Amino acid sequence: MRNQEMLVSPVSGALGAEIRGVDLTDITDHDFERIHELLLRHLVIFFPEQSHLTPEAHIALGRRFGEVEVHPFLPKVEGYPELALIESDKGGKADEWHIDVTFSPKPPVASILHLVTCPESGGDTMWSNQYLAYETLSDPYKELVDGLTAVHVLKAPEVGELKAEHPVVRIHPETGRRSLYVTRMWSSHIPQLSRHESDALLQFLFEHSEQPRFNCRYRWQPGAVAMWDNRATQHLAINDYSEYRKGQRVTILGDHPTGDAPRWKEYQRAGDERYWPRRVNAKAGY
């Protein structure tokens, strides 16, 4: 199919746009520049009716953004180690708000998910705009969170424990905008605060960043593709279905999140104060 002028329809007032008039199996450099521009503007973009997208074209699209990931433990599409296989009957239901792989020192830049099979109803995915989550904080709160970091932790049998420390407020390397960068699934604690202060602040930031006014919700159809900027969004797969759901995902390797340097030293705990991290888990579906 010869690509025509892209038709862009916003999905919500906060973020997200559906794009028609493009065949992702055959995009030009000009097409990619436009897609990249739309991704930075809308943060998550959707391409319906892409059932013909081949594994080779899917991986090639990811490589236009950078080096693609070979995930250390997610199942793969046979013959394509770069394509993670997300199946609902094998644990692929990440029904908690999260940013992908923040427990890595270099979390992914973006992901491209191709929904091959989806239920007739249910199984939508939601995204949340973390620029807006930061920008709607009061000035005193902004001043506080700009000077903090958070530790992000994964505990899973396949890899043991992985952790990384990132700014609570990330500065996007391409747009220069600030966004909240904590996530209910992986963020363990803020080391500059006491345990109770950290738990209270993280809980507030989780609830604030997940508000409906920052969200969009996408109803999948078979063959649709979603592409999202992992540096400025969170997402959640709604677990309200029992039918089989299958997706194939390419993830683009990332960079070190940057923000303001922490303004305070690590909190010095008393000798008998136990600082257990808050609950973390190893869900990995979309």
Q: Name the nearest CA neighbour of 22 among 36, 41, 12.
A: 36
Catalytic residue check, 98: yes
Phi, psi of 91 (to 5 degrees): 90, 5
Phi, psi of 256 (to 5 degrees): -75, 120
Which is catalytic among the residues 100, 178, 184, 231?
Answer: 100
Catalytic residue check, 95: no
Alpha-carbon torsion (180, 183, 187, 190), positive or negative? positive
Cα 265 to Cα 87: distance, rounded to the nearest angstrom? 43
Which is catalytic among the residues 58, 166, 235, 245?
Answer: 235
Catalytic residue check, 255: no
Q: Dihedral through CA 96, CA 102, CA 108, CA 113, nearest 10?
A: -10
Which is catalytic among the residues 178, 184, 189, 249?
Answer: 249
Phi, psi of 181 (to 5 degrees): -135, 55
The residue assigned the tokens 């609570």 is: 168
Which is catalytic among the residues 42, 98, 170, 245?
Answer: 98
Q: Name the nearest CA neighbour of 178 among 217, 209, 215, 216.
A: 209
Catalytic residue check, 240: no
So which residues are the catalytic ones? 98, 100, 235, 249
